[in-house]
């Protein structure tokens, strides 16, 4: 790592500086680490950096599997396996523990009522059909070999279930109950604007090394990734002309968004 990257790492290791850089991408960090099935983020209220660690080693799990066999004095076949941590770590340039305050709408779901009634008052097929909102009566009768309303009546007893879902209250962004604090760990790798592929590879290695790490439960959504991946790009030293043009910041951000990595541009 060169001087430019070292200086960038030192700046990113400052909680105030890192927090200011990450705050515009706070929603992205939450959405990349949590599956929101019943929640919808309305806005981000604040981002705080609780703790930072520079050059954090991440040891990916390593496993080996093989077999041993012998012929004499008797045929024997055995399998063996070994698991542990890799000898060489994957390095996270800056590991940050974040708290992100979000204003979110939550739909807890649930039933308001459930009513089951017997269907026994009908004289024609149309009267029977009218008592159900979702029923292909013709297909039902064909599938059961029924032709007339008498066949339908004699084939069995029928029940109609009415389910009413609970309506969530009107969303109020200002209500304290709709403000949630989400814990996110951000793994920052320092890259260079003339080697975006290298930054993507470094972030992918971090994700792969952390793939089997246990996920801590949280009270917001479902945690699906241990780290939010971030690639930080320090301002490059102007190269001597002529030099081929690199990717623009917009192109880098678009490329990394598609790869699930938040891009930061240091000035």
Question: Is this model's pTM higher than 0.75 or not?
Answer: no
CA-CA-CA-CA torsion sign (162, 166, 170, 171): negative
Contact (CB, 8 A) for 216 and 52 = no
* Other beta carbons within 10 Å of 259: 16
CA-CA-CA-CA torsion sign (237, 238, 240, 244): positive
Mean pLDDT of 239-267: 86
Per residue in 127-148, pLDDT (tens digit) is 898 888 888 888 988 888 999 9
pLDDT of residue 83: 57
Measured between alpha carbons, how far is 154 from 157 in angstroms, rounded to an integer? Answer: 8
Per residue in 31-66, pLDDT (tens digit) is 999 998 888 999 999 999 999 999 999 988 776 677
């Amino acid at each position: 790592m060169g001087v430019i990257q070292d200086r960038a790492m030192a700046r990113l290791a400052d909680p105030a500086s890192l927090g200011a850089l990450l705050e515009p991408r706070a929603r992205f960090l939450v959405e990349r680490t949590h599956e929101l099935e019943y929640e919808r983020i309305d806005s981000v209220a604040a981002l705080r950096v609780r703790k930072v660690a520079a050059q954090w080693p991440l040891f990916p799990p390593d496993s080996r599997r093989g077999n041993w066999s012998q012929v004499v004095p008797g045929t024997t076949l055995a399998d063996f396996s070994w698991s542990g941590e890799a000898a060489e770590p994957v390095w996270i340039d800056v590991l940050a523990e974040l708290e992100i305050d979000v204003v979110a709408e939550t739909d807890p779901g649930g039933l308001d009522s459930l009513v089951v009634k017997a269907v026994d008052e009908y004289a024609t097929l149309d009267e029977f059909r009218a008592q159900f909102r979702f029923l292909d009566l013709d297909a039902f009768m064909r599938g059961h070999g029924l032709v007339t309303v008498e066949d339908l009546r004699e084939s069995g007893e029928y029940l109609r279930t009415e389910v009413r879902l609970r309506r969530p209250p009107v969303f109020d962004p200002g209500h304290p109950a709709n403000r949630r604090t989400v814990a996110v760990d951000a793994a920052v790798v320092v890259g260079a604007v003339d080697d975006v592929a290298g930054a993507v590879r470094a972030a992918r290695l971090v994700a792969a090394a952390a793939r089997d790490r246990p996920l801590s439960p949280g009270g917001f959504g479902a945690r699906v990734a241990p780290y939010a991946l971030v690639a930080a790009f320090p301002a490059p030293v102007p190269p001597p002309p002529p030099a081929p043009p690199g990717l623009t910041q917009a192109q880098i951000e678009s490329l990394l968004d598609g790869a699930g990595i938040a891009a930061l541009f240091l000035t």
